[in-house]
Amino acid sequence: MEHTISKTRASVNENAPSVELLQGQNKLVCLVYGYSPSAINITWLQNNVSVQHDDSTNRSAKRPDGKFSIKSHLQVQASEWAPGDTYTCHVEHITGIVTRDISKKEITEETIYFDEKRISSCLTAPSRV
């Protein structure tokens, strides 16, 4: 009698993560969701340089649809974020790398606002001679 044993691999669906980068007061939040399998790595960059931060990344949570979600926070003080600086949420998953950037825009033009009521009253006031 002859028996054959063949190797079998469990079928795992690979789903690429969706990534959103949100800005709060003194904090950036990277939301990563809809991915599988659960192994994932999130790092933060400032102007393409890795940023040291507290371990503020939650563990992957399994959703009812079998996919996973996770979020990571980065504390950013306004005094540390210069105009033109870019922060990046860098996500590595078996399906590939996804990045999202957010920048503090530089002031490129000056806008002057007028109080129209004050201007119109100045223009319509009778002149005294």
Return the higher-pLDDT residue of 69 and 8.
69
Do 16 and 96 meet the contact criterion of CB atoms below 8 Å apart? yes
Percent of the chain predicted with pLDDT > 90: 57
- Which tens digit of pLDDT belongs to each residue from 75-123? 998 888 899 999 999 999 999 999 999 998 654 554 555 555 554 444 4
Predicted local distance difference test score (pLDDT) of residue 32: 97
Q: How is the chain split into domains, by residue range?
A: 18-123
Question: Phi, psi at residue 34, to the nearest 5°?
Answer: 75, 25
Return the higher-pLDDT residue of 117 and 16.
16
Cα-based angle 93, 87, 28 (whole degrees, multiple of 5): 85
Q: Strand, coil or helix: what is 2? A: coil
Buried b (16+ CB within 10 A) or exposed e, 72-107: bbbebeeeebeeeeebbbbbebeeeebebebeeeee
**CATH class of the region 18-123:** mainly beta
Compute the distance between CA of residue 100 and CA of residue 49 in angstroms, rounded to an integer. 14
Q: Is the peptide bond before 83 cis (omega within 30 degrees of 0)?
A: no
Q: Is the dihedral of CA 59, 63, 69, 71 positive or negative?
A: negative
Predicted local distance difference test score (pLDDT) of residue 24: 87
Predicted local distance difference test score (pLDDT) of residue 104: 82
